[in-house]
Amino acid sequence: MIIRKYIEFFKSLRKKFFNPLLEQFLLILNKLEAIQESLGRIEFRQTRDDNSLGLLSHEFRVFSQWGEDGIIQYLVNTVEINHKTFVEFGVEDYTECNTKFLLINNNWTGLVIDSDSDCIERIKKNKIYWSYNLKAIEAFVTQDNINSILQTNGFKGDIGLLSIDIDGNDYWIWKAITVINPIIVIIEYNYRFDSSIAVTIPYHENFDRQKAHHSMIYFGASLKALCLLGKEKGYDFIGCCSSGVNAFFIRQDKRPNYLKILTPEEGYVMGKFCEFRDEQGSLKKMTPHQEKEFLQNLDLPLIQVN
């Protein structure tokens, strides 16, 4: 992730002037990124044959924010998937994301979506965009346009994986999707809502986490709400990553017996990171429990999911 940002920075310098040392440094950075990818492949080989272990034991990180790369590799190599395609939205510049290693290591076909035009431009200028079958689309995803975006770009019916991380209307967007039928769904949950309640923020087409509340922790849905929605859409909840960010679902007709169905209480993981901002917008250190209590005491609307 950091390596790629340095690569892009030094590439921008190269446009202004040529320097042999700069060229050598760029070469080293590119090799470091290749080594990073290779380490991910090695870690995957060490865990792929053991189906008795839970999701957390398969975690490793190459391009994902946390351990999602390893879990994804475990799932796509143990679950029957005929259409090796993915959709991911909320990818920013595709430096840190859930599907980049899947694209490079497994040569899948994918569609990535982000609302930031600069981020999409950076993706299209990256070598990865031209080396693999990847589409990058600038769009602000809503429940009214998501299906047309997918269909217009050639994604419909069965696909291998869907990853949703938009820090807001995640529940409502997944609920609205009907034109694709992914086998694996990865979706962000807000651990501060606990595992015992099924709630989500109300749908607001232009929801912006930064504007909704200064704390930055009012967004998304609880794990239980997503589990209920998953069941309604024909998916089994099989666990979360160890960071307490993403939940994993498998389509019921494709779930192997060794992937145990979990309740929200069984699979819930509380996040250990701090994202809280004070009224001046500065990061303020609070424990996960303090963030959780703060959010529960906020007088902000939530919708109970049945």
Domain that holds residue 31: 1-47
Do 22 and 63 fall within a single domain? Answer: no
pLDDT at 46: 66
Same-domain check for residues 218 and 172: yes
- Interatomic CA distance for residues 284 and 286, integer angstroms: 6
92 & 205 share domain: yes
Whether residue 176 is found in the same domain as residue 221: yes
CATH number at residue 175: 3.40.50.150
- How many domains does the structure of the chain reveal? 2
* 87 shares its domain with 12: no
Contact criterion met (CB below 8 Å) for 223 and 209: no
Residues 11 and 106 in one domain: no
If asked whether residues 149 and 198 sit together in one domain, one would say yes
Shared domain check, 61 and 40:
no
Contact 96, 123 (CB under 8 A): no
Look at residue 36 in the predicted model and tell me its pLDDT: 72
Residue 11's pLDDT is 57
Q: Copy the structure tokens of residue 252.
A: 């019921």
The reported pLDDT for the residue numbered 53 is 59
Residue 285, classified by CB atoms within 10 Å of its CB into exposed (0-12), middle (13-18) or buried (19+), is: exposed
Same domain, residue pair 111 and 231 = yes
Backbone Cα Rg of the chain = 20
What is the structure's pLDDT at 32?
A: 76
pLDDT tens-digit series, residues 158-217:
999 999 999 999 999 999 999 999 999 999 999 999 899 999 999 999 999 999 999 999
- Residues 20 and 129 occupy one common structural domain: no
What long-range pairs does 233-236 form, CB within 8 A, spacing at least 24?
233/174, 233/175, 235/185, 236/261
pLDDT reported for residue 62: 85
The string of pLDDT tens digits covering residues 72-101 is: 999 999 999 999 999 999 999 998 999 999
The pTM (predicted TM-score) of the whole model is 0.86
Same domain for 156 and 27: no
Residues β-bridged to residue 261: none
DSSP characters over 84-144: -EEEEE--TTSSS-SSHHHHHHH--EEEEEES-HHHHHHHHHSHHHHHTTEEEEE----TT
What does the pLDDT read at residue 19?
58
pLDDT of residue 40: 73
Q: Which residues of the chain have pLDDT under 50?
A: 10
Same domain (yes/no): 39, 111: no
